[in-house]
Structure 1
Amino acid sequence: MKHARIACYGGIHEVFDLDGKLHLRDGRIVQSNEVVWLPPIEAGTIFALGLNYADHASEISFKAPDEPLVFIKGPNTLIGHEGQTRRPAGVGMMHYECELAVVIGKTARHVSQADAYEYVSGYTIANDYAIRDYLENYYRPNLAVKNRDTLTPIGPYVVDKEDIPNPMNLYLRTYVNGDLKQEGSTKDMVFDIAYLISYLSSFMTLQENDVILTGTPKGTVNVTEGDEVITEIEGIGSLKNTIVGDHVFQR
């Protein structure tokens, strides 16, 4: 089943998709164009993977790391489907990153790879924009690269893990203004989902609604104000957002 969070009727609601319609828990049905889409979960700790696809690492002239290159993102970065992402004035290179996002379903500590999927509740799509201008180096990304407000659209839905039988064989695609710019497959991850859950839980406790962003394949290109970006993952759906300039925010 697909789950989402929306704002409508003066409140915030959890909804589920049934036959293409949004059903509120109280039985009402709403149209997708009548709501504001929110991040589909209230995320806890957000883990992001750098260089977790060998082709992307090669694309930017780096080799894939020998162990997971992980950094933390704040929940301030998240926005929902059809939201606006800010491109600061003067930036020379800002690019999208279509990523499979893994949602943790229960407390996890010292989890084996064999048991890792027992701790997953579902999957969603994240577009983890990077502002390359602010990068110190690829092995130590600083806060300004990945933690600016509105920099990570996520959603629209979380899809239950039971409905994604093999998350390690899903196609990913990104379109900019309708043109296909990025495509790849989760099968090409350097470190797979089971390994990442086992690795992270070996030294810290994972909690319900923590999120692991698993990296992006090659094909990242610069986006500018006014661009419409759609990231798609097979079996999960499409996530759309628009790039806007500083003037929209008036600060």
Structure 2
Amino acid sequence: MRLVRAHGGATGLILEANGRLEVLDISAAGETLRAAKPHIADEVQALFDDKRQSWLPMIERWTEARETLRLLAEHAFGCWDSRTHDLPLTPLDELELEPPLPDPGSRIFAMGGNFPAHASKMSGVLNLPESVTNSAAHDAPPWGFYVIPGTVVGPNRTIVPPSGTKFLDYEAEVAVVLGSDAHDELSARFWGYTAWNDFSIRDTALGASQTDHGPLTWSLTKNFRTGNSCGPWMVVNYPPVDNLSITCHVNDELRQSGSTAQMAHSFGRIASYISEFVPLSAGDMILSGTPAGTAIEGGVDGAFLQAGDHVDVRIDGVDTLRNVIGAGD
């Protein structure tokens, strides 16, 4: 099952038949069916009861929500080829998509150094201690940073780094969404996942002038406006997440190729560790970290992003997440 956010935040269910991908506007479909199937309309209204169309009620009541979505899909497939149906279906490629965050205020926990090959290559450039670059081998915990939801954009959006940025990097990742289950290491399951690109300013790390000089230097290199992207859709219904392929192409050249099976700390381990300090909730997100192949691994001579470059992230089960690099603002 796949969900998207259309322009304006409306939630769409992706349906596929005869090679066509169409998006069913869930809220609008519920109202369309109110006369014939009022129970479905009532359930849809209960799931999306605010203008933000937060997915948190849906995640927390997923068993009931999944059945409602199944019935909507069943009805849509039943009248797919009818020229008289009035269901709100739109071809996927005609929609402007927003990032499929569960909620505008989603808490997003990003991991650093979680792929040993990437961390090891970065260590050679930045002289990082091995306890950081190979934390699992040293029995060290996961580490990372927080992503501000307002910096996240969707597919086909232009990434605009701060003015003066010299070294802009890419980081292909998997983002998972927590369900309402327990968050211990052995039993943790995840409601959904999507593709993510953590665009990163490397200027300070490589000796260039800082793009800012305040106390938030580290945060802002990872959290500038448009500095994160995700999508185009969210794979949901508790899919497996521990062996997903990750690739990144820049201008059609393969730069990164890895799998979540290579993570030093699994998603379950990360969720368990974070929950020791922060009460986790349904809808919280965890980013995997990135595999080897980023530009910073080549030092100042690395293949950093330039204006006009297009960057494609692909994850198993998710369509291409493409963004274009713009000139600094």
Question: Shorter chain as normaliser: what TM range?
Answer: 0.7 to 0.9
Q: Indicate the residue corresponding to 1:34 in structure 2.
A: 94
Larger fraction in strand: 1
Q: Pick from 141, 144, 148: which aligns with 2:224? A: 148
Aligned to 1:3: 3
Q: Aligned partners of 2:283, 2:206: CA distance in 1, in Å?
A: 30
Q: Is the 8 A contact 2:181 2:188 kept in 1?
A: no
Identity %: 33
Q: Which runs of 5+ in 1 are unaligned?
A: none
Please, what TM-score do these two structures have when normalized by structure 1?
0.87
Q: Could you tell me how far 1:106 is from its partner in structure 2?
A: 2.6
Alpha-carbon distance, 1:236 to partner: 2.5
1:141 to partner: Cα distance: 7.6
| 1:92 corresponds to | 166
Q: Which runs of 4+ in 1 moved over 6 A?
A: none
Paired residues of 2:161 and 2:224 also in contact (CA < 8 A)? no
Question: After the TM superposition, which residues 1-251 of structure 1 pair with which residues of structure 2 at under 5 Å, given as runs?
Answer: 1-7=1-7, 11-19=8-16, 20-25=21-26, 26=29, 27-41=87-101, 42=103, 43-61=105-123, 62=128, 63-65=133-135, 66-106=140-180, 111-117=183-189, 120-135=190-205, 142-162=218-238, 164-165=239-240, 167-221=241-295, 222-246=304-328
- Distance (whole Å) between structure 1 residues aligned to residue 273 and residue 180 of structure 2: 16
How far apart are 1:107 and its partner, in Å? Answer: 7.4
Task: Return the structure number with greater relative CO, CA threshold 8 A, min gap 6.
Answer: 1
- Measure, in 2, the Cα distance between the counterparts of 1:34 and 1:207: 34
CA contact (8 A) 1:125 1:239 kept: yes
Preserved contact between residue 24 and residue 88 of structure 2 (Cα < 8 Å): yes
The one-letter amino acid of 1:113's match is E
RMSD between superposed Cα atoms in Å: 2.1
Q: Is the 8 A contact 1:44 1:208 kept in 2?
A: no
TM-score, normalisation: structure 2: 0.67
Tell me the CA shift for residue 134 of structure 1. 3.7
Provide the C-alpha distance between the structure 1 equivalents of 2:107 and 2:113, rounded to a whole number of angstroms.
20
CA contact under 8 A between 2:173 and 2:290: conserved in structure 1?
Answer: yes
89 and 141 in structure 1: CA distance in 2 versus 1, 3 angstrom threshold: closer
Unmatched runs of 5 consecutive residues or more in structure 2? 30-86, 208-215, 296-303
Deviation track 1:40-80 (CA, whole Å, cap 9, x = no partner) reads 12251110100000000011124223211121111111001
Q: Distance in 2 between matches of 1:83 and 1:230?
A: 12
